[in-house]
Amino acid sequence: MRTYLRRSYATALFVLCLLGVMACSSGAQAPLPNSRPGGSTQPQMGSGTSNAPSIAWSPQTSGTFDFGTMHSGDSPASRTFTLKNSGTNATSALKITLTITAPLPPPASPGFAITGDTCTGTSLGKDKTCTVTVSYSFTVAGETDTATLKAVSKKPAAIASVNLTAKSIPTTVSFSFTGAAQTFVVPAVSQITINALGAEGSQQLGPTGDPMCGGTADLGASVTATISVTSGTTLYVYVGGSGDVHKGFNGGGNPVPSADTQGGGASDVRTSNSAALTGNPSTDPRIIVAGGGGAVGCELPSNGGNGGPVAGAGGAGAPADDGGMGGGGGTQTAGGAGGAGCEAPGGTGAAGNGGIAVINGGNGGGGWFGGGGGGIGGTNNCVPPFSDGNTGGGGGGSSFVESSGASNVSSTAGGNTTSADGIVTITY
């Protein structure tokens, strides 16, 4: 009974204090009506957060939105995200952030950016919405980019996040043989990667059907390099033709259309369609060249040389069995020497062009500098009197990559095992 009276008295004092009827003591405060002995506080009814704001982004799937893939040169992808308050109370002034989470650290390029925002600083009421627009632009080929878009209300507290993902993938343009120059306009990039494959020289029966013409593969080179470029520039692509079918288009030695075997054409990319091929890096318009293979000799077949590697020489043609010597491979500074022969020597290669064998094939492959043509031997081991003998194989053309602005250079002599004709691919 006494305990009950004490608690009733304390409660009355507390109420009078709150109503201002009497002064509140500066000493020990009167206990609250819901206090228990010991000072612990009972839970208050209605003190939860059911009336707090509740915000969320859309669209999303399980907290994530995927922008998909982006090719270099594509226009930026854009998406507008809507933030809605489904709670009872309004938010405080919202703070919006977009945080790049990969790739890290810099200087990796952030592909995501906010391009529109009606949410920042807005107090979002019940069932009200605002929007944020995010764009994604190509960054680095093969790179996966992620970011987090977040909205924060401090008082009352509320947070909404959506994880953004996207991937930048390279674009590859392929050029096959057409027998003419082709064009490529550089898109909005600063580098391109070029793979050039030279064409093979003749290695089967020639157009005249001579059954004595034929030999093993004399393949074009493979050359790859990443090259600095300027957006909007037009580049000219020349894809070499095989000696057997396409007459060694683009520099393969080819004296007359009816010649038995032609050298393989080089494949190259140029900055000009009209400037002369000089073999001088300061004046020659070619920025990358894959040398073509030399042609086989005829009568008793002697193999041609493969297109050579960058900074090296094309392969030499094989000699015939009666004094006809194979043509030399083109180098970085000169055409391959013509093969010696008692009947007639082969022609020397030149900038861009393979040397000519007088008759019966063995013509040089095209290249930065072309391979030499095979020489013609004579019967009776070239001891007079003798008649026309066998022809040495043609030398392979040399390959080249400009030294300024090029990186990741690789090459393989005779590396075109894909196609008789050349191929050029440009990736950016």
Q: What is the CATH number of the domain that holds 139?
A: 2.60.40.10
- pLDDT score of 212: 57
DSSP string computed for 287-327 = EEEEPPPPPPBSSS--PPPPPPPBTS-PPPPPP-TTS-PPP
Q: For 33-37, 148-152, 423-427, which range has the lowest pLDDT when averaged over its residues?
A: 33-37
Same domain, 254 and 333: yes
Write down the residue that tokens 């080819």 correspond to: 254
- pLDDT score of 270: 98
Q: Give the single-character DSSP code of 387.
A: -
Domain around 108: 55-169
Same domain, 331 and 237: yes
Query: Which carries the bigger pLDDT value, residue 345 or residue 196?
Result: 196
pLDDT tens digit sequence for 210-264? 555 656 668 999 999 999 999 999 999 999 999 988 999 999 998 765 556 789 9
- pLDDT score of 17: 44
Mean per-residue pLDDT, 374-398: 80
Mean per-residue pLDDT, 356-372: 89
Kindly state whether residue 229 falls inside one of the protein's structural domains: yes
Instruction: From 139, 169, 199, give the residue that closes a domain.
Output: 169
Same domain, 303 and 372: yes
pLDDT at 33 over 50: no
Instruction: From 121, 137, 169, give the residue that closes a domain.
Output: 169
Same domain, 199 and 119: no
Kindly state whether residue 14 falls inside one of the protein's structural domains: no
Kindly state whether residue 16 falls inside one of the protein's structural domains: no
Distance in angstroms (rounded) separating the CA atoms of residues 414 and 188: 34
- Total structural domains within the chain: 2
pLDDT tens digit sequence for 390-408? 788 899 999 999 998 899 9
Same domain, 244 and 111: no
- State the pLDDT confidence band at 99, using cuts at 50, 70 and 90: very high
pLDDT at 321 over 80: no
Q: How would you classify residue 16: left for phi > 0, otherwise alpha for psi between -120 and 50, otherwise beta?
A: alpha
- pLDDT score of 51: 80
Q: Which two tokens stand for residue 342?
A: 């008692």
Same domain, 154 and 263: no
Query: Which carries the bigger pLDDT value, residue 379 or residue 190?
Result: 190
- pLDDT score of 229: 96
User: Model's pTM, two decimal places?
Assistant: 0.75
Instruction: From 169, 187, 205, give the residue that closes a domain.
Output: 169
CA separation, residue 59 to residues 66, 70, 83, 127, 149 (Å):
10, 20, 9, 16, 12
Same domain, 365 and 269: yes
pLDDT tens digit sequence for 103-135? 876 555 679 999 999 999 999 999 999 999 999
Same domain, 157 and 304: no
Kindly state whether residue 310 falls inside one of the protein's structural domains: yes
Same domain, 150 and 227: no
Kindly state whether residue 120 falls inside one of the protein's structural domains: yes
